[in-house]
Structure 1
């Protein structure tokens, strides 16, 4: 929980191999917790983690703490598509 997700703005572009290794390790640790939701406060980190978890086929819901506090969890999670049947 105390390690960067590897995104860091242009860091992910300039050092994609290092960034990828960091997010791989982070996603592995998140998955190993068994938690159904990843909750954090930095949107860049959450988008990075949501993308990695999705590419890995994980169904962990990724949320910003403000979404939870505002009661907005009935909307799709970060990186999740809106259900077209609910439109």
Structure 2
């Protein structure tokens, strides 16, 4: 195997980072009323989904009150 003797020119990479274009991009189009309304509705739907899952999920995460009852044995009932 032979080694490459000439240096590898990496200067073009450094120059590419400094390059700035003098061409300005066109201005962004403003969203129409329908697009804005759609975005608002999607946002409200997602927020309502989070709120609903929290509302219905919290009772499932809380400890049940029925498990705190002390069970009595049948022998204690027949005295």
Q: TM-score, normalised by structure 1?
A: 0.24
Q: TM-score, normalised by structure 2?
A: 0.26
The one of the two structures with greater contact order (alpha-carbon pairs below 8 A, sep at least 6) is 1
Larger radius of gyration: 2
Q: Identify, as 1 or 2, the structure richer in helix.
A: 2
Q: Identify, as 1 or 2, the structure richer in strand.
A: 1
